[in-house]
Chain A
Amino acid sequence: MSKTDISLVVPLYNESENIEEIYLRIKSELCKLSLKFEIVFVDDGSVDGTSDILKEIKRKEPNIKLVIFDRNYGQTEAMAAGFEYAGGDIIITMDGDLQNDPADILPVIIKLQSGYDLVCGWRKARKDRFLSRRLPSMIANAIISFITKVSIHDLGCSLKGFRRELVENIHLYSDMHRYIPIIASSIGANIAEIPVTHRARAKGDSKYGLSRSWKVIIDLLKIKVLVDFSSRPLALFSWFSLPFLFLGLVFWAQYFLSHHGSQVLTYSFVLQGTGTLYLFLAFSLLAFGFVTQLIIKTGDLKSDKIINSITGNV
């Protein structure tokens, strides 16, 4: 079998009304190119017969791959599975609900071929309700790009193009798909952004709403820590423990200073105790750092290898 040039990964969840149309439109776009392409449909445990329609299409079209989950897992898992079975040098992901316009696939490919590892879609003119969806998403994106120093306007856009080497080095789990650009940038990828059109959902219901804000905050914190410190947790915990070491010393200093002279404090316990608490916290955080450092030695992410493999192919 000759090598596939482009793989399109499309996660689907209860999209039986849309598949036919999405397939035809993707196909007509990709046929404009003289490249060998395939479409990987990932059925995320649909219960409305999506997989039957997919099998029907598959019978007619050989350049389709179907990955069918045994139950609903979520978009991250669907994308991870799509990545695993996509064989193209360029891998493009898009929504299965026609919110992305297949006409935007070509610009993404062109951008990728001009030397980027990752091209993210940016829904410049979103067609969602402002207060309930667009505003929270704008705020979230602004905070995320401020904290992670990766300036992407629209993390939530599903239309993204990847170079194969990048996909092989990103391992997705538990809602991580939103943070792909951040992880990609942390392992040295070249990222570009292009404006794409966005359409309101035509048929079916929207499935992937904005999760509760604390989850986003926790996830953001987690990504920040993972990206900056997963290879050196001791550094993270050392930084983390410094302020408490300082606090502890301040309380003890205060205690000794208050004892100056012959004055006896009735509640000296408060200062001693609080000081000891913070010192204890500082040391236990350091201990955590050591333990984590030991544990990740047995892990299998070697960051230097990743950077080499990407820069070597640009």
Chain B
Amino acid sequence: MTLLQKKKTGKTHKYNYDISVIVPVVERHDDLEGLYISYADEIKKLTDRFEFIFVVDGHKDKAYLEIKRFAGDEPKIKVIKFQKTFGESIAISVGLERAQGRYVFTLAAYMQVEPYEIKKLYDALCNDECDVAIAKRLRRNDTPFNRMQSAVFHRILKLFTGAEFGDISCGLKGLKKEIVEQFDIYGDQHRFIPILAEHKGLRVKEIEVEQHTGDTKTRVYKLRTYLNRVIDIIALFFLIRFTYKPLRFFGLVGSFFIIAGMAINGYLIFLRLFTSNFGLTDKPSLFLSSLLIVIGIQIFAVGLIGEIIIYTHSKRAKSYNIKEIRE
């Protein structure tokens, strides 16, 4: 959800294509030509008006040359190359911005899903069954380790956001271009497009697809990647629950610290005042309880800052979505 949402423009778009496919080439990628050919073959069965947008991150110079080579003069292939390394989320949001199709699909840069499965998502979008269609890989042949780490990730996700999805990290997602402008993607949040969409009241549908055989190798990521995932979930949790009321969260947490500190402090002061021979100088718990108070007040102050920022920007904040207006 964007805090400061741009006002929706009421103009009707003219779409140059039916389908735009965005392929972020950021980290892992395989034979891109093969990927393009096999998906393009399937898409041709659906429509002839489609485009492929490869967004190549800064450090992927080889991949860039390869795409240039097989793209040749093919007008359906568009390549965007970053000067620097910006990461997958930026790649996807740049792709979404440039896409001119009525329906926009994102695709992993390696074979994740059997290409013919894209039809299922396309149909769901065309028949207006949903605004966002996400693929859920049937992990029939996947390794136990892959299944396990996916299950753990989605369990944590559900715990924090309440969103029940089975395979949110699958690269294949389809969405209507008209809703793209409602998103502001940052951090690693491209992964959470379905959750953000659902939070905005859009209809999200999970569609089961066949996993590509090449995708069933055990994947172990760097520790950094796992940590980033957890941080993203926490960021999302705040975004959804407390964007407009930071003090509800920070105030509560801060209060706990303050109350705990006050209680210990109060007890010490009580003893100092009402019992003889009780000095505070040799009581380290005075220091501890003061520390608790200090921490609590700091947390509380952060919440207050949040509230002040939102209040002073509230003219532009719009926290609801209208489905229909009749005047």
Where the two chains meet, the residues of A that have a C-beta atom closer than 8 Å to any C-beta of B are 45, 51, 55, 58, 64-71, 73, 77-78, 80-81, 85, 171-175, 214-215, 218-219, 221-222, 225-226, 229-231, 233, 236-237, 240, 244, 258, 265-271, 273-274, 277-278, 280-281, 284-285, 288, 291-292, 295-296, 298-301
**A274–B265 Cα gap in the complex (Å)?**
12
**Interfacial chain B residues near A64, Cβ < 8 Å:** 326
| A281 in contact with B294 given A270-B280, A270-B282 (CB within 8 Å) | yes
Query: What is the distance, in angstroms, from A264's C-beta to the closest C-beta of chain B?
Result: 12
**A58–B326 Cα gap in the complex (Å)?**
8
Do B325 and A300 have beta carbons less than 8 Å apart? Answer: no
Which of B251, B298, B311 counts the most chain A CB atoms within 10 A? B311
Do A237 and B301 have beta carbons less than 8 Å apart? Answer: yes
Q: Which of A69, A214, A274, A295 contacts B286 (CB 8 A)?
A: A274
Interface size class of B (residues with CB under 8 A): 35 or more
| A278 in contact with B309 given A171-B317, A175-B245, A218-B252 (CB within 8 Å) | no
Q: How many A-B residue pairs have CB under 8 A?
A: 152
**Interfacial chain A residues near B325, Cβ < 8 Å:** 65-68, 85
Where the two chains meet, the residues of B that have a C-beta atom closer than 8 Å to any C-beta of A are 200-202, 244-245, 247-248, 251-252, 255, 280-284, 286-287, 290-291, 294, 297-298, 301-302, 304-305, 307-327
Known: A171-B315, A258-B281. 6 other contacts (CB 8 A): A68-B322, A85-B325, A226-B307, A269-B287, A278-B294, A301-B311
Q: Which of B247, B308, B310, B315 contacts A218 (CB 8 A)?
A: B247
Which residue in chain A gives the minimum CB-CB distance to B321?
A70
Do A274 and B287 have beta carbons less than 8 Å apart? Answer: yes
Do A300 and B315 have beta carbons less than 8 Å apart? Answer: yes
| A81 in contact with B324 given A270-B286, A300-B312 (CB within 8 Å) | no
Do B251 and A221 have beta carbons less than 8 Å apart? Answer: yes
Do B327 and A85 have beta carbons less than 8 Å apart? Answer: yes
**A78–B323 Cα gap in the complex (Å)?**
13
Query: What is the distance, in angstroms, from A275's C-beta to the closest C-beta of chain B?
Result: 9
**Interfacial chain B residues near A67, Cβ < 8 Å:** 322, 324-325
In the complex, 18 of the A-B residue pairs with CB atoms within 8 angstroms, ordered by the A residue number, are A66-B325, A68-B322, A77-B320, A173-B310, A173-B319, A221-B247, A222-B304, A225-B307, A230-B308, A230-B312, A267-B281, A268-B281, A269-B287, A270-B281, A270-B283, A296-B308, A299-B313, A300-B316
